[in-house]
A = this chain, B = another copy of it.
Amino acid sequence: MSALPAPASKASPAAVTPHAVNCGDCGLRDLCLVEGLSTADLDRLAGMVSTRRRIKRGEPLFRAGDRFDAVYPIRLGFFKTRVTADDGREQITGFPMPGDILGFEAISSTHFQSDAIALEDAEVCVVPFDRLETLSREFTALQHQLHRVLSREIVRDHGVMMLLGTMRAEQRLATFVLNLSQRFAQRGFSSREFILRMTREEIGNFLGLKLETVSRTFSKMQDDGLIAVEQKRLRIEDLARLREVAGAGCSLE
């Protein structure tokens, strides 16, 4: 996998913003852990986010085997998460973006099971997990939301299984594009035109395809007038037909 940046096994040079952080002021409030909490509750949750952390493009936020003690709501930037088999096979499990939360897969074992790599300069909140557990015993609304977020991740994964198990290349790619589009829309960005932060190889790995197949399929979708792709820039030209190609169901999120 030469596409990936050097491992950089040093303890990650990520900068740390020392100032206190407050979920109530966060623009991503409605997507994140505190969705649905009252303003009064939010004030009392002041200490939930211990700090923030910045990660440079290509650097890991965490790696499989690192000790788990916090989850990381993303403030800024795209990531990829990936699992690696003992024999070196890799599978990208998702491309989380601001408002998504990283690290839940680690709860079950006290150590992370996957890598989270920043695809661009990024910033995350650091939420110590023991603190989150303590607070969620006190704030029922937070407990609910935590369970919802965990469950949502399971549902998302089932969507990916559906994609990998039942779809053809073109359908997979169309579904992938629509999913990105939708998530950009939720975050207030253009859903019609955006930048692909990941390479063709990374897209292919996620979708269970080779990079050449991704490239060819993009070209075909462009010839068919569904999308316009030029390097990393993608524009949806015919949403209705793109949806047809993706097939009903399985929005991936």
Contact = CB atoms under 8 A, between A and B. Distances in A.
Nearest to A248: B86
A155 B89 contact: no
Interface stretch (A3-11, A55-63, A137-145, A185-193): A137-145
A226 interface: no
B108 A164 contact: no
B147 A137 contact: no
A108 to B, nearest CB: 4
B249 A84 contact: yes
Given A151-B150, A154-B157, A247-B89, A162 B107 contact: no
Contact of A108 (B91, B148, B208): B148
Contacts of A249: 84-87, 89
A2 interface: no
Interface of A: 83-87, 89-91, 93, 104-109, 113-114, 133, 136-137, 140, 143-144, 147-155, 157-162, 164-167, 205-208, 247-250
